Structures are given as C-alpha cells and as structure tokens.
Amino acid sequence: MANEIKVDCVGENCPVPLVETRKAVRKAEKGDIIVVQGDHSASKKEIPMAVEAMDLELLSIEDKNDHWQIKIKV
C-alpha cells in the first residue's frame, strides 16, 4: 500500500527544499507519493529536474494560493 509523504518547505530557500525532497526519496518505498510544498521559485524548477535525474515520476506541479505543490511517485 502506497504511503503519502509530506515535505513542507514553505519559507525555506535553496537548497533546503531539494535536500528535504532527496531525504524523503531515500526513506520512501516503491510506489509511495511524495508531496513537496514550498514557496521558493527556484526550487519549483530545481525539484522537477532532480526528479527526472533520479528517474522518478513527476505526477504534478500545482500553484496554490501562496505556494506551490509538487507530487512525485517513487
């Protein structure tokens, strides 16, 4: 059964969101969904590039009220 792992990086600047996302990926099991939230615009671009480099599945990138949310499938 897939778990949903939340990574809250709102208010954090680079490289914290990317580092926290990588930590979550290492802890996750195959099939888990990682939901990363943040408000740092550079991280919104960097995390999807890292997901591709790690050969994971980018499910979505959504803009919320004052932040963004990225969903990744491990």
In the chain, domain spans: 4-73
- Residues annotated catalytic, as ranges: 14
- Record: fold of 4-73: Translation Initiation Factor IF3 (3.30.110)
> How many Cβ atoms are within 10 Å of 7's Cβ, its own excluded?
20
Give the tens place of pLDDT for each residue, 17-66.
999 999 999 999 999 999 999 999 999 999 999 999 999 999 999 998 89
Residue 50: partners with Cβ closer than 8 Å, 6 or more residues away:
18, 21, 22
This prediction has a pTM of 0.95
